[in-house]
Structure 1
Amino acid sequence: MRLNMNYEIYIEESSPVRVLSNVIDEIYQKEEYTIVSKWNGAIPEDIMMKILIYGYMNDSFSSRKIEQLCKRDIHFMWLLDGFGAPDHSTISRFRQKMGEQIERVFYAVVKYLLNMKEISGENLFIDGTKIEANANRYTFVWKKAVSKNEQKLRTKLPEILDEIKYAYGVRSPENTGVSDMISTLSSLMIKFGIKRVYGKGHHKSVYQKALEKLEEYAEKMALYEHYNSLFDGRNSFSKTDTDATFMRMKDDHMRNGQLKPGYNIQSAVEGEYIVGLDVSSERSDVNTLIPFLSKLNSLELFVLKNIICDAGYESEENYLYLRSHNMTSYIKPVNYEQSKKRNFRTKYGRPENMEYHEMGDIFVCKAGRILWRVGTKHEKSKTGFVSEKALYRCESCEGCPHKQNCTKAKGNKTLSVSHRFKELRAESLENITTEFGRQLRMNRSIQAEGVFGVLKQDYGFRRFLCRGKNNIRTEFLLLGLAYNIKKLFAKISENRLGISLFELKTA
């Protein structure tokens, strides 16, 4: 008996591999979405794309594992459409050649879902997660340590140069640099016929010792300058993967809060699909929102309307950006959970628990004492945003019965308040407490956090295989494509097409 080589009869009509094939075929029929990756392999580009995405759909991220599946799995054989199975180096080379062009395929699938009315861009649920980089956990470089050592080295330079000038008889101008002094010492050694010696049994001349000391100094300074060019606003990086930043991961294998090199992955979800992805080296989410939304706006796929985030994205700068771009903020305030506790009202030093009188620009505390306006200060964030804060000081805290629950200061209570931020926070709080706002917050927990739960737990994707931000972006975009195709198949199977929000359940 011989196996029938017509694989078509072995593939079920309702199969995720057919959904994948139909979506990619429709995308590649449109010239504007064809990837220009200079691919000249024996297998057509669209077929390579299919087997790569289908490998990620089957939790197979390694090129060697995908090669094995192409030889053994009937679904991969059907996708190959008569072509021979590619080897792992061909698959890996294709993934590397895609580069930034993989984004065109990802957002082409997003547009495909948009045409199906599966998404609209109206309600965007944004969340972030940290995924460990393919880097050594102990090859860290800290900015503070580099600055400290560099400063120490710079202070030693005048002593080294003075020692060489006067102890070894080298005369040079006052502002002689390290490179000039190295050239001078090298010339003197040639002039006096002194050769450099190495190893045991050889005595180095005073000129060679001075020259090696200066060369060591120049080598260290060049290393520190190289490190400073790699920080790029960060406080740390890994020598194994210089784009990775040391972050605190939730799923720490050592259970001791160890910092590990990783990337902050930002995703925008709507209708249970990933409609936007970005890779950031920022440790906190607050500085990633504006670049992420700016990128989505530049694509012009849809008009962003409602932005739903957790408390990690709250800042005055983010609030103002959303308002200036006609987006409605559904960001949960940082103090929202605390404000629901009973002891929140007993913290009398908080501005929320004081009466503010706009007429006199004063605060009145629990004891009825006035906090007068005493000045203004400006705070500059990491991104360069300047926030204006008003300063208030109590007329007298002496003998106040509530001072213990108000301030730890020995003198009078001082309060710092940004009225603009207070207004923006109140507006966002009002939005999230409406019935529609509660529905959106519930859907954010299900959809945005659910995406990372599936990718990390179900797919088992907890550590990147590639290195470098560009390769990391390619890897995660492929993972996002696999997730969207599987989600589309699931919604078709469950007859849930067109449903973008889960209903709010009431007791």
Structure 2
Amino acid sequence: MSNFRTIDRLTSYLLPPSVDDWLPEKHLARFIVEVIDGLDLGRMSGAYRGSGSASYHPRMLLGLLVYGYATGVFSSRKLERATYDSVAFRFIAANDHPDHDTIATFRRRFLKEIEKLFVEVLRLAREIGVLKMGTIGLDGTKIHANASRHSALSYEYAGKLEEQLKAEVADLLAKAEAADKSDVPDGMSIPDELARREERLRKIAEARATIEARARERHAREKAEHEAKMAAREARTAATGKKPGGKPPAPPTEGPLPSDQVNLTDEESRIMPAAGGGFDQCYNAQAAVAAGSLLVVATDVVQAPNDKNQVEPMLEKIGALPEGLGKVEHLLADTGYFSAGNVAACEKAGVEPAIAMGRQPHHPPLSERFEKAPEAPKDPTPVEAMAHRLKTPAGRALYALRKQTPEPVFGIIKSALGFRQFSLRGLENVRGEWSLVTMAWNLKRMFTLAPAYRMA
């Protein structure tokens, strides 16, 4: 005799009468709602005129976005659908269903306000005792732009394409002016073909102008660097009375290179090396992560494919955080961040750097792991002092925290949550979206670290 539960899809009342009863008491959606209810959203709510039909409250829309990014739902269409399909999203939306256009517009409109709320969430993390600033790990990760690399146009190819299109326009105009139209293929509309080519020529002209502007900026930067190198050589010659060895640095080339590119979909993104080989259209997302709690305390998004010039900007962002969050004592970073200037910048900021000076072997010999610390150098430069610290047992133990600080955060955001591509376009917009991603991660992490916490 069968013993199954009854399948009854016709009962008129399936859910509790209150949306508050739909979720367990300890649930991430509740935590996010409670945190957002405690934030000051006056700038957001004050931006609405108050006329016309009633608007969705910013608290609800922000809750949908943050919970979506914390659980791997990034698309505004999927967020709208989730307000029907998911109990947690229904709870946040209070059984309402804002459409995807409303959600997408809210996200674009209030990116700057969301960036400011990032710091407010860190204040809360400090208040509930889960954030300690002492040691920070800095790292970057490539995240795909909302653009295909096949939409990139090189300066050389743009010139060839421009010549081809101009020749086609001249041919179409000749056909239009000819008295005998018998040579016009069936189905061809000369005005439509002309309009299409003229639009493409306009876009190509804009792309070439963008590449030329970037080339001028690059030439000015490289020219200043070249002049500084030449001045340093002359100073060494004057100090030693000997001509420096090696060839003098070559002056930079003026004008665009044939391989210089611009992406027609998102011109502010860049071609960057992708993990596993090859290249893709990306941005370089930076994050400073607190050791122990794995909370992100500062973020940035840059167009440079490497991390060499990101230490000083991130130190400025960390230095601008409220004093009540605590003081950063150590900065951990891999060899991609190493330079004498970056080490000096850390020392100037009152932060002790632990930046790898070269690639670390995966399986160092036992004798090397347990060798005694070398004797400290006398009157060392900042780089020499750091190099000595990294060879001491305490320095090695400190640097070992680097791999278990920012890298797990990136791994969870990209693999577990699935955030591998920005939804928005343009450098400022993706910076705002990266703040939203990391703020959502911080709230998810805070919920894990302090599950018993409830807002007053």
Tell whether 2:134 aligns with 1:95. Answer: no
Aligned to 2:93: 80
1:225 corresponds in structure 2 to 209
Deviation of the 1:331 alpha carbon: 0.7
Q: Distance in 1 between matches of 2:206 and 2:131?
A: 51
* 2:338 counterpart of 1:326: no
Question: Does 1:59 find its partner at 2:72?
Answer: yes
Q: Is the 8 A contact 2:286 2:300 kept in 1?
A: yes
Change (3 A) 1:96 1:444: same
How much does 1:243 deviate? 0.8
2-structure distance, mates of 1:99, 1:45: 12
User: Match for 1:242: what amino acid?
Assistant: E
How far 1:64 moved relative to its partner?
A: 0.7
Indicate the residue corresponding to 2:142 in structure 1.
130
Where does 1:230-245 land on structure 2 (aligned, <5 Å)? 233=218, 236-245=261-270
The 3-state SS of whatever aligns with 1:89 is: helix
Deviation at 1:264, TM superposition (A): 0.3
Counterpart in the other structure of 2:417 = 459
How far, CA to CA, are the matches of 1:132 and 1:227 in structure 2? 21
For residues 447 and 222 of structure 1, do their structure 2 counterparts lie closer, same or farther at Cα, with a shift above 3 Å needed? closer
The answer to whether the Cα contact below 8 Å between 1:332 and 1:428 also exists between their aligned partners in 2 is: no
Deviation string 1:227-259 (CA, Å, 9 cap, x unpaired) is 2235665964322111101000104xxxxx322
Unmatched segments (≥5 aa) in structure 1: 154-196, 204-216, 252-256, 343-357, 359-419, 496-507
What is the aligned partner in structure 2 of residue 473 from structure 1? 431
Query: Residue 383 of structure 1 aligns with which residue?
Result: none
Equivalent residue letter for 1:247: M
Given that residues 347 and 382 in structure 2 are in contact (C-alpha distance below 8 angstroms), is that contact kept between their aligned partners in structure 1?
no
- Partners of 1:314 and 1:333 within 8 A in 2: yes
* Structure 2 counterpart of 1:286: 308
Contact 2:130 2:446 in 1 (8 A): no
Superposed displacement of residue 268, structure 1: 0.7
Q: Does 1:23 align with 2:35?
A: yes
| Structure number with bigger Rg | 1
| Aligned mates of 1:10, 1:200 — CA distance in 2 | 69
2:47 equivalent in structure 1:
38
Q: Does 1:267 align with 2:281?
A: no
2-structure distance, mates of 1:300, 1:120: 13
Partners of 1:237 and 1:261 within 8 A in 2: no
TM-score, length basis structure 2? 0.68
More strand by percentage: 1
Q: 1:74 & 1:218 partners in 2: Cα distance? A: 49
State the Cα distance separating 1:427 from its structure 2 match.
1.6
Q: Residues of 2 paired with 1:290 and 1:110: CA distance? A: 21
**Residue 363 of structure 1: aligned partner:** none
Instruction: For residue 319 of structure 1, give the secondary structure of its aligned residue in structure 2.
Output: helix
- Give the residue type in structure 2 aligned to 1:229: A
Q: Structure 1 residues 298 and 437 mapped into 2: Cα distance closer, same or farther (>3 Å)?
A: same
Q: Matched residue of 2:289: which SS?
A: strand
Matched residues in 2 for 1:294 and 1:134: separation? Answer: 28
Q: How far apart in 1 are the matches of 2:365 and 2:306?
A: 26
The higher-RCO structure (CA 8 Å, 6+ apart) is 2
How many corresponding residue pairs?
351
How far does residue 335 in structure 1 lie from its aligned partner after superposition? 5.5
RMSD: 3.5
Q: C-alpha distance in 2, partners of 1:59/1:223?
A: 35
Cα drift, residue 113 of structure 1:
1.0
Distance in 2 between the 1:13 and 1:280 partners?
41
Contact 2:22 2:91 survives alignment (8 Å) = no
Please say if residues 125 and 131 of structure 2, whose CA atoms lie closer than 8 Å, have aligned partners that are also in contact: yes
Partner secondary structure for residue 102 of structure 1: helix
Partner of 1:199: 175
Paired AA for residue 264 in structure 1? N
Secondary structure of 1:279's partner?
strand
Give the counterpart of 2:446 among 479, 488, 493: 488
Q: Deviations over 1:460-485 (max 9, x none)?
A: 11222221112212222221122111
The answer for the alignment partner of 2:231 in structure 1 is none
Query: How big is the shift at 1:36?
Result: 6.4
User: What is the DSSP-based 3-state SS (H/G/I as helix, E as strand, rest coil) of the residue aligned with 2:404?
Assistant: helix
Task: Confirm or deny that 1:9 pairs with 2:18.
Answer: no
CA shift for structure 1 position 119? 1.9
1:333, 1:425 within 8 Å by CA — same for their partners in 2?
A: no
CA contact (8 A) 2:297 2:318 kept: no
Question: In the alignment, is residue 304 of structure 1 matched against residue 324 of structure 2?
Answer: no
Taking the aligned partners of 1:139 and 1:219, their CA distance within structure 2 comes to 12
| Structure 2 letter corresponding to 1:129 | T
C-alpha contact (below 8 Å) 2:115/2:436 kept by paired residues:
no
Q: Deviations over 1:358-388 (max 9, x none)?
A: 9xxxxxxxxxxxxxxxxxxxxxxxxxxxxxx
Give the secondary structure class of the aligned counterpart of 1:465: coil
Secondary structure class of the residue paired with 2:410: helix
Q: Work out whether residues 230 and 242 of structure 1, in 8 Å CA contact, stay in contact via their aligned partners in 2.
A: no
In structure 1, C-alpha distance between the alignment counterparts of 2:333 and 2:213, rounded to whole Å: 33
CA deviation string 1:318-375 (max 9, x = no partner): 1111111111111111165499689xxxxxxxxxxxxxxx9xxxxxxxxxxxxxxxxx
| SS of equivalent to 2:17 | coil
Judge conservation of contact 1:245–1:263 (CA < 8 Å) in 2: yes
2:420 aligned partner, one-letter code: R
Structure 2 distance, partners of 1:258, 1:452, is 20
Distance in 1 separating the partners of 2:421 and 2:206: 32
State the secondary structure of the residue aligned to 2:123: helix
Aligned pair partner of 1:114 in 116, 119, 126: 126
Aligned residue number for residue 249 of structure 1: 274
Call closer, same or farther: CA 1:109–1:137 in 2, change over 3 Å: same
Pick closer, same or farther for the CA change 1:221–1:474 going to 2, 3 Å. Answer: closer
Deviation track 1:386-407 (CA, whole Å, cap 9, x = no partner) reads xxxxxxxxxxxxxxxxxxxxxx
| Partner SS state of residue 463, structure 1 | coil
1:151-202 per-position Cα deviation (integer Å, ceiling 9, x unaligned): xx9xxxxxxxxxxxxxxxxxxxxxxxxxxxxxxxxxxxxxxxxxxx642665
SS at the partner of 2:150?
Answer: coil
CA distance in 1, matches of 2:202, 2:93: 56
CA 1:481–1:336: 2 relative to 1, 3 Å: closer
Superposition TM-score, scaled by structure 1 size? 0.62
Give the whole-Å Cα distance in 2 for the aligned partners of 1:481 and 1:430.
Answer: 36
CA distance in 2, matches of 1:6, 1:339: 58
**What displacement does 1:77 show?**
2.1
How far off its partner does 1:433 sit?
3.4
Residues in 1 aligned to 2:309 and 2:76: alpha-carbon distance in whole angstroms: 34
SS of the equivalent of 2:358 reads coil
| 3-state SS, counterpart of residue 299 of structure 2 | strand
Q: SS at the partner of 1:100? A: helix
Could you give the per-residue CA deviations for residues 426-479 of structure 1, whole angstroms, max 9, x where no partner exists? Answer: 222222334443333232211210001001111111222221112212222221
Taking the aligned partners of 1:339 and 1:77, their CA distance within structure 2 comes to 50
